[in-house]
Amino acid sequence: RKRGSPCVPARLMEGLLEERRGEWPQDSVCYRLYPPGGQDPAGVGRAELEQRREGIVGRLALLCAGYIWHNEAFRLQCAPARGDVPAHIGGVTNFGDNVDDEWFIVYLIQQITKEFPDLVASVEDNDGDFLLIEAAEYLPKWLNPDTSANRVFFYCGELHIIPIPQNPEERSWLPASNPTIPQALNLLTTHSDKCLAAGPIRKAIRRRLQSYPEKIHADRHRAYCYVPVGIAAVLQHRPDLLAPAVQAFYLRDPIDLRACRPFKRFLPNTRVMTLVTFTKCLYAQLQQQHFMPDRRSGYTLPAQSDQHFKAHALGMKLAHGFEILCSKCSQSLPSSKTGSNISSDPLWEGFINSLKKNNYFRVRSRTVFRHSRVSSAVALVMAQRVGLSCS
């Protein structure tokens, strides 16, 4: 079951962008955005690249707001030129078990090239050019995994495929072998009409993306959960923190469950009924697993005939997920000996403020809460998951 990969801190993103496809974590999608001048050996300056990145993130904010990522968020980072890969903006996202996240990223990339028509974008996953797999029955015979390298791009919101030369006239402007990325960028800006993918291919991709952005809301599922008030408070203001907690429960092992005997952070006597927004995938992962809490945890379930049994069961599983998550994160927290003070981090302050607004400190004193380190653990998760995401 443990197919998911841990969240990748933003500082490692550049390294992932430089790695070969086979070195990415399983179930990962890589996306790159090349600005004008990418075909120029002088490249694009870091400051200009960062300015473009900020503009893109700003334009996508409404689309990404409130989106619940299954494993890792869509994140953009500036990458310097290296070898024959020009300076660009890009990222690698591990989407885990929810392939809808991968296709949402494709939609975002398409929209970026539509909103910023001077950008050229590529998207690939562990299988390579998976967009071609979606349109496999319409591909020309010459196009296969060996010949598709550096040929498939989004440009001006449309899918483009750089062709191979098939006559003397085309040989005058098309490379004989797979193009380099600078060659591809030059071809797309000078011969975009000749590189536009065939109608049936573009139609197949549009058909796969046509349900967005409405699909973002259609894929949500809301359910009542009986959870500790601290979890209710956090999820009200940061619904994206639901995903790592569900994953922690879903991928638990006997060692993980030791953290729940007994609970130290999310105590059962602080539970309240609250409405939680899931993705359908996260809800299915939580709901499908039969799990009875250890008596030492303090959690009990009513009879299955009880009208609130499902809310109790879902809340108990969520509480276990958050407890496991915090116990793991606490091992990675910055030590006070290093001089790091997470309480000065704006993410920490946002977390504390969300609890204040929901009167969490009426249930537990701030001193006890602080020493429990739950807020530090969740703040660390926030820092890891938010990174440079567009949300």
Q: One-letter amino acid identity for 47?
A: A
Please state the φ and ψ torsions of residue 153, each to the nearest 5 degrees: -145, 155
Q: What is the DSSP letter of 261?
A: S
Q: What's the confidence (pLDDT) of residue 337?
A: 42
Q: What's the confidence (pLDDT) of residue 325?
A: 87
Percent pLDDT > 70 in the chain is 76
> Is the pLDDT reported for residue 3 higher than 60?
no
Q: What's the confidence (pLDDT) of residue 348?
A: 47
Of 33-37, 59-63, 91-95, give the lowest mean pLDDT range: 33-37
119 closest CA partner among 201, 55, 177, 58:
55
Q: Which residue has the higher pLDDT, 283 or 43?
A: 283
Q: Which residue has the higher pLDDT, 358 or 370?
A: 358
> Is the pLDDT reported for residue 237 higher than 90?
no
pLDDT in tens, 163-188: 999 999 988 999 989 999 999 999 99
Q: Which residue has the tokens 């009208």?
A: 307
Rg of the chain in Å (alpha carbons): 24
Beta strand 88-94 pairing with 152-155: unpaired
pLDDT in tens, 13-44: 455 555 556 678 889 999 999 998 655 555 67
> Is the pLDDT reported for residue 247 higher than 80?
yes
Average the pLDDT over 83-89 and give the result. Answer: 92
> Is the pLDDT reported for residue 10 higher than 60?
no
Average the pLDDT over 287-313 and give the result. Answer: 92
Average the pLDDT over 211-222 and give the result. Answer: 94
Q: How far is residue 143's CA from residue 197's CA, in Å, rounded to a whole number?
A: 12
Q: How far is residue 305's CA from residue 385's CA, in Å, rounded to a whole number?
A: 38
Q: What's the confidence (pLDDT) of residue 196?
A: 97
Q: What's the confidence (pLDDT) of residue 66?
A: 80
Percent pLDDT > 90 in the chain is 58
> Is the pLDDT reported for residue 351 higher than 90?
no
Q: What's the confidence (pLDDT) of residue 383?
A: 44
Q: Which residue has the higher pLDDT, 354 or 254?
A: 254
Q: What's the confidence (pLDDT) of residue 358?
A: 55
Q: What's the confidence (pLDDT) of residue 236?
A: 86
pTM above 0.85, yes or no: no
The Cα-based distances of 359 to 229, 276, 316 in angstroms read 9, 18, 21
Q: Mean pLDDT for the chain?
A: 82
